[in-house]
Every structure is written in structure tokens, then in C-alpha cells.
């Protein structure tokens, strides 16, 4: 599990930006979505430091809203810089995926 967590560190930001691009989302909901996509090792607690860093970098913005079930929630959305970063990530990911697939396919023959 530690090996896959290490591999995911560079990819998780792009995945988070992609999910936020779908619409405003709060941290717990984001963690649930990541888990539904198979990212089982990430909890709500591990998501917030990433979101805080992304906010400091100007990639996401947040707003506090009332919740029908408890305290206020902080909802995150992409900024223009976040959308640009997501676009760059998708390009880098496509290149990396193609290279890895080529190596794995060749090595698996």
C-alpha cells in the first residue's frame, strides 16, 4: 500500500482538480468521491492539507455555507488558475500514460 501511495502523490492533485471541476464540493464529499473511484487509502483528513495548499496556490477557492446536518461546510471550486493547472495536468498525464503503457506492453510480450 505504501508504494501505491507514493506513486499517487503526484497524481492526486490532478484528480482532485478534476473532481472539483464538476462543481462545488466540500472535503468529506470529495473524499467519498475519491473512494468511489477506488482511492481507498485517502480519508477526509488527508484531503484537507491538499486543499489548503491548493487554495494558497490560487488553484481553488472556498466559501463557507450552512449545512442542514451540523456545522458550516467549506465548499471548494476551481479558479481560472486551477482550470489552467488541470488542463496542464491532463496533458502531462496523457504523455506519461502513453509512455508507461508502451513500456509495460513491450515488457509484457
Domain 2-105, CATH: 1.10.10.10
Q: What is the pTM of this model?
A: 0.85
Predicted pLDDT of residue 40: 79
Q: Please measure the distance between the N-terminal and C-terminal CA atoms of the chain and give it in whole angstroms.
A: 27
Distance (Å) of CA 95 to CA 13, 77, 82, 88: 17, 26, 20, 11
Q: What does the domain layout of the chain look like in residue ranges?
A: 2-105
Residue 3 above 60 pLDDT? no
- Beta-bridged to residue 73, according to DSSP, are 65
- pLDDT by residue (tens digit) across 17-72? 999 999 999 998 999 999 999 987 777 788 899 999 999 999 999 999 988 888 89
Q: If you average pLDDT over residues 86-95, what whole number do you get?
A: 93
Amino acid at each position: 500500500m505504501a508504494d501505491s501511495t507514493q506513486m499517487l502523490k503526484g497524481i492526486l492533485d490532478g484528480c482532485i482538480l478534476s473532481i472539483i471541476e464538476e462543481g462545488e464540493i466540500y472535503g468529506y464529499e470529495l473524499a467519498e468521491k475519491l473512494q468511489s473511484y477506488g482511492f481507498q487509502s485517502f480519508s477526509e483528513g488527508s484531503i484537507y492539507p491538499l486543499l489548503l495548499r491548493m487554495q494558497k496556490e490560487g488553484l481553488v477557492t472556498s466559501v463557507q455555507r450552512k449545512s442542514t446536518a451540523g456545522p458550516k461546510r467549506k465548499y471548494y471550486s476551481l479558479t481560472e488558475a486551477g482550470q489552467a493547472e488541470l488542463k496542464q495536468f491532463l496533458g502531462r498525464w496523457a504523455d506519461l500514460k502513453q509512455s508507461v503503457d508502451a513500456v509495460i506492453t513491450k515488457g509484457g510480450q
